[in-house]
Chain A
């Protein structure tokens, strides 16, 4: 007896049905896309405003990664000798690259060379042979103690990446510009500060650093005075809450002190005293400023 073949219901369906469904779905998808794209462009949550591909891909997580890479640059500055989240981080609360550049006020305490507690067992002691366990700075000789200041260049890729991920983070530009200046690259330093100002218009910290660049590398006190005074004006125009935050007060202190020094060189006595009195009001060390004023008045400084 011949076996009866069972035909699939798919085979009985006319072929042209599938051929019609495909263009129908295509047209439907196209119509929906044209409608939705208009809505998407006007939706405040869309990320197409940014031309930065990484920023678009990461969204708000970009800030976290930016901080991670900023800290990584500091780890490179220490040639890999850096506390993990399980170690005592008291002496690494403020990245040293930022503290050295004046971008952030240091909040570190304790001995930075001894965040690794004495080993508790032989495994920990033996394990320390396989990762950097001695404190060094790239600017002071690096891992073998013989490297020049040029080796600090190794921190730059991470700083650049950090700035791309979070363009609003001012410290990144300041730190990058400072170390570029130390490496005798004033043009690149200026470029970084300009990029920072493009992203953060009128930022007093960036203006302070730009002024420093004008004065130190281009010997241009007029340009320096101009940008520092612009920085002070911008600080004055800030709302009171912003003006009194730690970072802005620190910037104000830096600008006032730098301007005072500039005016001392120019011999503008009244302006110097005015600036020093302003500095005394904002500084955390008024006694030192008072001494500065007295020294200046008595002609010692």
Chain B
């Protein structure tokens, strides 16, 4: 446990040194503020379009941060050959991988906190209220989803030879699930066999990342989700995250380092 904690701290420190987050945060803030300064029929209470734009940018930014950060962890250690002295210490490969995972996940949590504080402040200046429960559920579910993405990306970094290939494939898969995951069973009904069975199987096998996307509920001020639903979604996310992590550990254990 101590090894995992130490390693995750190293990953966190490294992520603080990198410029990705700062650039993406500034871009998000600038675009949101520019959009917020538009005069719309002399009504300064219009806020939902701004919430939508800001949340979209937050989602894109955090997925970019999560995938790129997780995808380069193991390949960077191998390229710089620091993996050898690391594994020469009393640390197992599983601990290395878990340390990397938790480091990325905590770094992403810090980024999420900054993004959502900005979002909350921006929304509050126009709405004059702060639905804390809704925001907390949105951040929590978002963070659980990013955990699955990070685990998937770590697994990809062990399966694919190049970081770029892993990053591209991870982006495509995440975008596909977020945009189409919910509709796959409906699409399956409209096609013939064997595509139908294939799509239906895919529908049940894929991690439904769209479960964690409650942007529409936050944007349109819907009441908070029932806590039991939130707990179930968290368990669902943890199950898929654990699946990808175990698969990554198995791959890493068998994989030659050179």
Contacts and interface: CB of A to CB of B under 8 A. Distances in A.
A185 B41 CA distance: 9
Given A129-B229, A143-B223, A156 B208 contact: no
Interface in B99-128: none
Contacts, number: 89
A43 interface: no
Contacts of A121: 185, 204
B203 interface: yes
A279 to B, nearest CB: 34
A127 B229 CA distance: 10
Contact of A156 (B40, B203, B212, B219): B40
Given A86-B183, A131-B216, A154 B48 contact: yes
Interface in B219-251: 219-223, 225-226, 229, 232-233
Given A127-B210, A132-B216, A144-B221, A154 B41 contact: no
Contacts of A99: none
Interface residues of B, number: 36
A84 interface: yes
Interface residues on A, range: 20 to 34
A157 B183 contact: no
Interface in A120-176: 120-121, 123-124, 126-127, 129-132, 142-144, 147, 150, 153-154, 156-158, 160
Contacts of A160: 40-41
Contacts of A185: 41-43
B211 interface: yes
A130 B213 contact: yes
B222 A153 contact: no
A186 to B, nearest CB: 12
Contacts of A80: 216-217, 219-220, 222
A144 B223 CA distance: 7
A26 B226 CA distance: 68
A79 interface: yes
A116 B16 CA distance: 45
Interface string A245-267: 00000000000000000000000
Interface string B174-198: 0000000011011100000000000
B186 A86 contact: yes
B29 interface: no
A130 B225 CA distance: 7
A130 B49 contact: no
A143 B221 contact: yes
Contacts of B217: 80, 130-132
A124 B45 CA distance: 35
Q: Which 4 A-B pairs have the closest CB atoms?
A: A79-B220, A80-B216, A157-B49, A86-B186
Given A127-B182, A131-B217, 19 more contacts: A76-B220, A79-B220, A123-B208, A124-B182, A126-B211, A130-B210, A130-B211, A130-B217, A131-B213, A143-B220, A144-B222, A153-B43, A153-B46, A154-B46, A154-B49, A157-B46, A158-B49, A185-B42, A188-B42
Interface of A: 76, 79-80, 84, 86-87, 120-121, 123-124, 126-127, 129-132, 142-144, 147, 150, 153-154, 156-158, 160, 180, 185, 188
11 contacts: A79-B222, A80-B222, A84-B183, A127-B182, A129-B225, A130-B213, A130-B214, A131-B217, A143-B221, A154-B46, A180-B41
